[in-house]
Structure 1
């Protein structure tokens, strides 16, 4: 081999070596991502995930690496809208991405089965969104092991079983969104023990039953939605004049309590209590709510004159209809 040929070979070798060393993607992360792609049947939506390219070069669909600390570990994975042609489970290989902070799996009707135990390996996970899929089985208890969790969103899936009582042990949890599943049983008493950071609880459109735990009075929820369940009893514990409550949605349950005795947050902008067994008079404090935008107390057992003033007369008669003996504008005058 001539000297020129040797030089050319060395140049080529050095070029490949430089390319290999210049790749920012961590090899273990890359291997995990390619295995995830394989476990999902190599969908065309992930065609940008190639073994020959750098997973941190911003061309891999749904993959984001940590450039702030320059560790270049995969910290954000979005597997939404994959258009899978047949059913697949959530890949267990996701558990091999130990630096994930964000995991999103949305709008995948062909994602089925249980949430894999490997998710418990994601000890840095902060935000988990798995919604509009067909995952089933119960919400696993292992989520209580991931102490970094801030948000859990499992809305509109096919989850069953009861609510895991252990979630209240999570020190950084701000909110849970479990709407639109088939979760049954009672709300655990332990849910009154969430940290002071916990401000949002939405459990609508499930099969929850039983009474609201009195322990929930300790929570300062900005947003609560328990609508369209089979819950009963005294839900007044969710109210309070010293709370920062902005929206309370309890529609279509079997709640029964004296609405006239509840305290109202001055920040309340939405109140939907329709289709319950709530009784008493409307509290006069409703007229002082400057931010009230949505309001409905129809189909209950309320009585007395609708307080005049504030924004209450801006809502039409349907918001007050079908009560025991409510009267006054916008309903017919009291006699």
Structure 2
């Protein structure tokens, strides 16, 4: 039986070879555009990228089971001898579903050829030196589920057109130099969007009231220069698990805010938030991390729930916040 299987595999090998050559020249061109890095030494013209191991390449068979096409391109830690731009040839991989370019010294703008990847679901360009603006052409790739551009040198404004992506579930732009206001259109994202991380940028202005329409599970706008009312981001009807607004210039009455019942992490430190801590915080069974330090809060910390388990420094440096775990409130006659 084993011998029969070996014969079948041997006879089918030439056919598989033909089926797995559709994207070979594109991959070899990508390798060339990167200066033939050592880590891609497995990319050889004499082998097939689907039935041998090519570093960072995985394949999928088309719907007719006729050809193998590149489905995943994962290029990380390439240790290029000098900075290179992202290879424009990547846009010639029409079946690409996952594109990961990680921790490599790419430079320059994100190439417009990526707009040709009309089947792309996951776009991850992180820890590189790419610069320029977040490209508006991303709005044309309607299949996108996740965009992660964290820790690059991107600048300019957030493209308002991103909200037209019908399937986008994750948007991560942490650690860039993005400036300007959050577009009003960001309140028009579909219900698929559950994660938005825009922290460690240079965003300014007020948080748009339109964001009240979003039901985000994870939101991080920390370490920007946002100001004004952020209460639109909260609500008892939402499914928020984590919200981080720390180190901005936000100012609103926290005492009037209602929270998601599954909220686990709330970080509001270093703002100008005023009012009292809401009694509703005591009902949050999943709340494990809370930081409201360095604000203008006043009054007694509500007793109950997990609030007394929170570290003292998470309540520190407020106007007149008191009560366990802080010192007791002083009675005024």
Q: What range describes the TM-score normalised by the shorter chain of this pair?
A: over 0.9
Is the contact made by 1:212 and 1:231 (CA closer than 8 Å) also made in structure 2?
yes
In the other structure, the counterpart of 1:5 is none
Is the contact made by 2:163 and 2:188 (CA closer than 8 Å) also made in structure 1?
yes
Gaps of 5+ in 2: 1-10
In the other structure, the counterpart of 1:259 is 254
In the TM superposition, structure 1's runs of 4+ consecutive aligned residues that sit over 6 Å from their partners are: none
What whole-Å deviation, never above 9, does each CA across 1:220-263 have from its counterpart, x for those lacking one? 00000000000001111110000000000000000000001111
TM-score by length of 2: 0.93
In 1, distance between residues paired with 2:112 and 2:305?
52
Is the contact made by 1:24 and 1:72 (CA closer than 8 Å) also made in structure 2?
no
Match of 1:203 among 184, 190, 198: 198
Displacement, 1:26?
4.0
Match of 2:56 among 62, 70, 80: 62
In the other structure, the counterpart of 2:7 is none
In 1, distance between residues paired with 2:225 and 2:172?
18
* C-alpha distance 24-267 of structure 1, shift in aligned 2 (>3 A): farther
Displacement, 1:293?
1.4
Displacement, 1:22?
3.0
Worse overlay, 316-325 or 18-27: 18-27
In 1, distance between residues paired with 2:140 and 2:23?
22
In 2, distance between residues paired with 1:297 and 1:223?
18
Match of 1:23 among 5, 12, 17: 17
SS in 1 for 2:155: coil
Match of 2:33 among 31, 39, 43: 39
Match of 2:230 among 232, 235, 258: 235
Is the contact made by 1:101 and 1:125 (CA closer than 8 Å) also made in structure 2?
yes
1:221 aligns to 2:255 (yes or no): no
In the other structure, the counterpart of 1:272 is 267
Displacement, 1:19?
5.6
Gaps of 5+ in 1: 1-16
SS in 2 for 1:95: helix
1:92 aligns to 2:92 (yes or no): no
Is the contact made by 1:168 and 1:194 (CA closer than 8 Å) also made in structure 2?
yes
In the other structure, the counterpart of 1:9 is none
Displacement, 1:67?
4.1
In the other structure, the counterpart of 1:131 is 126
Q: Provide the alpha-carbon RMSD of the alignment.
A: 1.5
1:317 aligns to 2:312 (yes or no): yes
In 2, distance between residues paired with 1:251 and 1:28?
49
In the other structure, the counterpart of 1:53 is 47
